[in-house]
Amino acid sequence: MKLGFPLSIQSQLRTGMLRGLLALALASTGWIGTAQATPLISVSASKSSVNVGEVFTIYFDISGFSPAAGSSLSTFDINILNNAALAGLGTVSFIDPASAINQLDLDEPGSLGFYGDATQGAGMIDAFGLSGNSTALLDADQADSFRFLSLSFTALAASSGAEFAIDLSDPGMLFLDSSGRVMEVDYQSARAVVAITEGGGGQVPEPASLALVALALAGVGLSRRKGKQADSAGKTRPSGRAIQLLGLASAAFAVGQVSAQAGNLPPATSAASAPATTAVAKGTPIEVVVLQIAGSRAKVRAVEDGREYWITTAQPLPADKLGARLQGQAHARGDAIFVAAPVFLSKP
């Protein structure tokens, strides 16, 4: 039975759980170390101004790590204050664009794996991540500066300044170093502000690589995890899974380009205005069960393989559709998966 704790209470409960899990891992693997640097957190936005309906992304970066033992990030748990009526949460990414990997999920035999998510609540988003890597690997291979979280949003209503700020008063806020010690951090910026206007004519962003990969995965049900494996010379090269994932992203991008040429439209243009006879313009067919509704956002589970992800719809979803089956054509829109005309079936 799922307990209906408020999101703030859930965050505090999970903070204790994350500490406990990490302490258990440390005890079982003998992790040691003490951080010697004060990392710097920076919050920024992909755009300073958008039109209603446009997608934008809020970035969370960390920098200032040193070669000292324990100077790396293993766990974070933060609340981000935001007004969900102004901007709806879209996709969540832990990928650092500079290295193209999750810096808390480095390839390591016997790793416990990465555990992380972000959930929209009343007036805030609860985001967390827990690395399953050992201290030695995090200290040796984690980048000195990287992006640990990206949240995409769809602008829903006009505002002179929609704010996205780390809640510095949150008692459950947590940053742990690779040895499991609480890590003090400084802030270059703890918030980002985006102006939202009603003006039309704004061009919807071209599908970003994150959404392309997510949409490709929605079609074939592959694992999210990436890895690397060593060749005979001791160097690293992408594993077969990573190569296949990159191939899917490239293929999805190519499909978008072909669709744009065929209909003389940008890749992210609505399927309703694209030529009905162009197969690639129809998007990726999905059939999912609605698990959670947050305005025009819905967390869903794929009927075929059970994988869970978020989608965005043109209109807010009725509360009575919770638990119903949904069918539709999914399209990559910026950093989101957009379903223009969902069809609801009876509840299973």
DSSP 16-61: HHHHHHHHHHHHHHT------S--EEEEEES-SEEETT-EEEEEEE
Classify residue 101 by its DSSP letter: B
Burial status of residue 227 (CB atoms within 10 A of its CB: 0-12, 13-18, 19 or more): middle
Q: Do domains 7-197 and 282-344 have the same CATH topology?
A: no
3-class SS of residue 212: helix
Predicted TM-score (pTM) of this structure: 0.52
Q: Residue 186, Cβ neighbours under 10 Å: how many? A: 10
Q: Interhelix angle for 209-220 vs 240-263, to 10°?
A: 100
Alpha-carbon distance of 138 to 33, in angstroms, equals 11
Residue 169, C-beta contacts closer than 8 angstroms, at least 6 positions apart? none
Domain extents for the chain? 7-197, 209-271, 282-344
Fold of the CATH domain 7-197: Immunoglobulin-like (2.60.40)
What pLDDT digit, counting tens, does each position of 225-269 carry? Answer: 333 333 333 433 333 433 343 344 444 444 344 333 333 333 333
**Using alpha carbons only, how large is the chain's radius of gyration in Å?**
21
Q: Please, are residues 31 and 179 in contact by the beta-carbon 8 Å criterion?
A: yes
Mean of the per-residue pLDDT values for the chain?
Answer: 73
Report the first-to-last Cα separation within the chain, whole angstroms.
19
- In this prediction, residue 333 carries a pLDDT of 62
The better pLDDT of the pair 320, 6 is held by: 320
3-class SS of residue 211: helix
What pLDDT digit, counting tens, does each position of 68-81 carry? Answer: 888 899 999 999 99
HSE-CB of 154 using CA atoms within 13 angstroms = 25
Question: 123: part of which helix (H) or strand (E)?
Answer: none
Point out the least confidently predicted range of 44-48, 149-153, 205-209, 256-260.
256-260
Indicate if the alpha-carbon torsion angle 236, 237, 239, 245 is positive or negative.
positive
Q: Please, are residues 184 and 62 in contact by the beta-carbon 8 Å criterion?
A: no
Classify residue 182 by its DSSP letter: B
Binned at pLDDT 50, 70 and 90, residue 12 comes out as low
3-class SS of residue 139: helix
| Residue type (1 letter), 87 | A
Alpha-carbon distance of 332 to 211, in angstroms, equals 5
What pLDDT digit, counting tens, does each position of 161-187 carry? Answer: 999 999 999 888 999 998 888 989 999
3-class SS of residue 126: strand
Q: Residue 278, Cβ neighbours under 10 Å: how many? A: 14
Alpha-carbon distance of 213 to 247, in angstroms, equals 9
Q: Tell me the average pLDDT across 128-147.
A: 94
The backbone region for 166, taken as left when phi is positive above 0, alpha when psi lies in -120 to 50, beta otherwise, is beta
**Top-confidence range, 15-24, 203-212, 255-264, 316-325:** 316-325
CATH 2.40.50.140, applies to 282-344: yes
